[in-house]
Structure 1
Amino acid sequence: MIAALAPLFRGPLAPYAEALRLQADATARPGSDLTDPDFLTSQMTLFSRRFAQPERRAVASLWMKHHVSAVLTPVLAANLLLGRQMPVALEEIDVLPGPKGIAEALILPQDGTPVSRADPFARFSPLLEGHVAPLVKAVAKASGIAPKVLWSNVGNWFDGLTGEAEAMGAEGVGDARALLALERAPDGTRNPVFAAVRHTAEGRKRRVCCLRYLIPELDLCDTCPLPDPARP
């Protein structure tokens, strides 16, 4: 466990205590390898073995979901709850691959710094631009999935964890909500997590389907925007 993050790992976040590390590991790979087509494809192939009838795009989508949940949850939680920016840009870190194709941990160069409060985009840029954006590009290229599906996965995760952090009294929730509500970044480029989730009387609903319905053995997810049963 990274000592500076110890206050996070109580209650629901306890399972993530080892997802961020500082110690080098002989089996770790450079974080930039996640954008290498051969390595990335090998990881998604390992991941696909859990399904009887894997479909390439659905596997890529679910792989992305699992990646952000497994190793980026404590990164966003540290930002929202502790006001701590973790250095997770792919070129700065190493990644510890797991036997089933999902990273077990990120090996960081240091234990973080205070977050930037200049604007919501600056606050979350090290996570979204440094780690997620190049990964989305690589996964889309390797699998043929539309980048908007992958960004929808990220936006759904970001929105969901923000809600959990709000219930814990996190000071960063306002910036997180502001980010999700802004269609454009300060430089005029499109915000890829803008309005990723609709909050309705029936609960949270994604705007873009994650494609898991393409794997016959899987049910629709709880936030699916498609009608049920959904086999377009």
Structure 2
Amino acid sequence: MAKSSRFSAKAVQRLLLHLLCLVPAAWLFYLSATDGLGANPAEALLRSLGDWAIRFICFALAVTPLRQWLRWNGLAAYRRMLGLYAFFYASLHWLAYVVFDMGVDWPAIVDDLIKRPFILVGTLAWLILLALAITSVPRIIRRMGGKRWQMLHRAVYGAAALAVLHFWWMRSGKNNFAEVWLYGLILAGLLAARWVFQKRKQMQAAAKAARV
């Protein structure tokens, strides 16, 4: 009975997290339907979806440091979900670019990728997230094995760096870097936290081996 209630509590937690993760998409859909996105709704939607994509990358990368600091191993179960929502919002961002910005004109899109490097960088970040999303299927995880899967999924840091570069390049024309610096510092802090914990783990392992 206790085991059943524990499973049901976890299911409720996952459902609540799914609902929270979908709130930004629902809100943007509502604003789109009610003309609440301002004078240039297509651009506002495109930018907002990009903002949420990079936020969810930060949320996903924050899980491991928080789990280690709080000693709450249950948090690890939500990292993959948050990463998939990062891919979800990045995909909506890219789709908004293709549909609203470029009118699904593929030759023009290819030309734009060549002419505007920040579009290419953003697309590369999305392709990395796509690869990580595909390999997050349980069957593929089992086939790859835990170590190989973990090594591949470290590429999320590359996607994060490319996302920040994409954001910086996009903002460079307006000389408005406040948000870019914020996300850059958050990601740098998360990387530093990962490095500190890895070093601490190595030192503890070395000390344990020395005592044997």
Give the TM-score range, shorter chain: 0.3 to 0.5
Higher relative contact order (CA 8 A, sep 6+): 1
Structure with greater helix percent:
2
Q: Over alpha carbons, which structure has the higher Rg?
A: 2
- TM-score w.r.t. the length of structure 1 is 0.33
Structure with greater strand percent:
1
- TM-score w.r.t. the length of structure 2 is 0.35
